[in-house]
Structure 1
Amino acid sequence: MPRSRALRNRFVDAPGSLGERMRLARWERFRRCFPGIEGMSVVDLGGTAEMWLRAPVRAKHVHLVNLEEHPAELPDWITAEVADVTDAAVAAELSARGGFDLVFSNSVIEHVGGHGRRRQFVAAVETLAPRHWVQTPYRYFPVEPHFVAPGFQFLPLAARARLVRRWPLVHSRPDGPESALDAVVGIELLTRTEMRYLFPRSVLLSERVLGVPKSLIAVRREL
């Protein structure tokens, strides 16, 4: 394993890492918000089978909707499709199927691409199920979570693209200037005001580290 990857694992990805402990704490909070999750059908917008297979929480059924291909082999309680829920036709077709109790989305809304597409994403969340859990990293947390870099989100775009080619804690190092721009331009971290604007009827929870908000979670438990 490359040294940079090993370093990232130590802080973010590996069992026992700070990132893993925080993910487990988030799952426990999720369970408290939805104590009947074992009997619910969940549509996960942007999630992966690996995340649910590793989770200490199991829903009755999970349907994954993602832009990337899913594994060919899935357990019988997970189904999946490749689709973009910011496409109104896709969201309408999913909604017409019905049967979802909860929309789940973890660190996705900041990637969908601009305010207009975020509004379309929220429209899908609102129509697909009566309950939701939509988590996103908080813009003003001191460390940018995707690149594990202090203050990274406040740098000019060109500086972020240069830094991401050298920073040791990136998940996948870009191989050139264009891929470096691709890696950073599509991430737009949200503020509390933006999340309240997008989810005015939801409860907005904060996930904190040393008292400082790290993530925001829009939650609706019931209608």
Structure 2
Amino acid sequence: MRNLVAGTSSSSLAGRARARRWNLFLRTFPDLERLKVVDLGGTPQFWSASPIRPRSLTVVNLATSNSPATDWVEVVTGDACKAAELGLQNDYDLVFSNSTIEHVGGHDRCLAFAETVKTLGSRHWIQTPYRYFPIEPHFVFPGLQFLPIALRQHVAARWPLSYTKSMGGNLDDPLDAVLWTELLSRTHMKYYFPASEIVSERFAGLTKSLIAVRR
């Protein structure tokens, strides 16, 4: 599982879209400041953008965090698809995830990720970019998700807007970046979260991302 969310300026198009998402999230969970939250695949830095912070936050990510310890954030290095290995209790008020499930690696791993979500808490917000939005969001390239793997690799290595380049990242292995990114459809999300409401996040009238919500 990878955490592949590119940073953007708050004045950019992507930055404004994320601000709208925060607003939607806070309207959905207006009691956030009273909640104990676990974020699967996130980072403490991501939550620094939130206008309201939760009562406590546990962040689970495969990558080791360099963030300094705080009194309200616990960082767990681990695989969110393997709930039993995380050592976390089923006592979270809200399970949160932003743009992670599409990076976990295949149908069986998505099922395991969804099972972790259901294991850790009864309420959740699980966001993922929509497969059929015309612009692939990680590489900012039209229809990249529908191209053969070899062509996706070619674009990832050369397209100047690819997420790894925007982050100053290393594209020595663009094929690896491509293979770790598999966008999901509404049918996928409904299958993985059958008891959830699947909310559409729209841009220019088109569904840009999907959010599995259980209130």
2:71 is aligned with 1:76: yes
Aligned to 2:14: 19
Separation in structure 1 between the aligned mates of residue 187 and residue 85 of structure 2, nearest angstrom: 28
Match status 1:189 vs 2:195: no
Write 1 or 2 for the structure with the bigger share of helix: 1
Give the counterpart letter for 1:79 in structure 2. Answer: E
Alpha-carbon displacement from aligned partner over 1:24-71 (angstroms, at most 9, x marks no partner): 110111111111110000000000111101222311111000000112
Equivalent residue number for residue 208 of structure 1: 202
CA distance in 2, matches of 1:75, 1:52: 12
Q: 1:111 aligns with which of 88, 98, 103?
A: 103
Q: Which residue of 1 aligns with 2:150?
A: 158
User: Does the CA-based 8 Å contact 1:24-1:56 persist in structure 2?
Assistant: no
Task: State the TM-score, normalizing by the size of structure 1.
Answer: 0.88
Amino acid at match of 2:204: L
Deviation at 1:77, TM superposition (A): 1.0
User: What is the DSSP-based 3-state SS (H/G/I as helix, E as strand, rest coil) of the residue aligned with 1:42?
Assistant: strand
Structure 1: unaligned runs, 5 residues or longer: 1-8
Q: Percent identity?
A: 50
Report how many residues are paired.
206
> What's the C-alpha RMSD, in Å, of the aligned pairs?
1.4
Distance across 2 between alignment mates of 1:121 and 1:98: 15
Which amino acid is 1:35 matched to?
P
Corresponding position of 1:65: 60
Read off the aligned partner of 1:171 and give its amino acid letter.
Y
Residues of 1 paired with 2:124 and 2:193: CA distance? 10
Distance in 2 (CA, whole Å) between partners of 1:52 and 1:74 is: 14
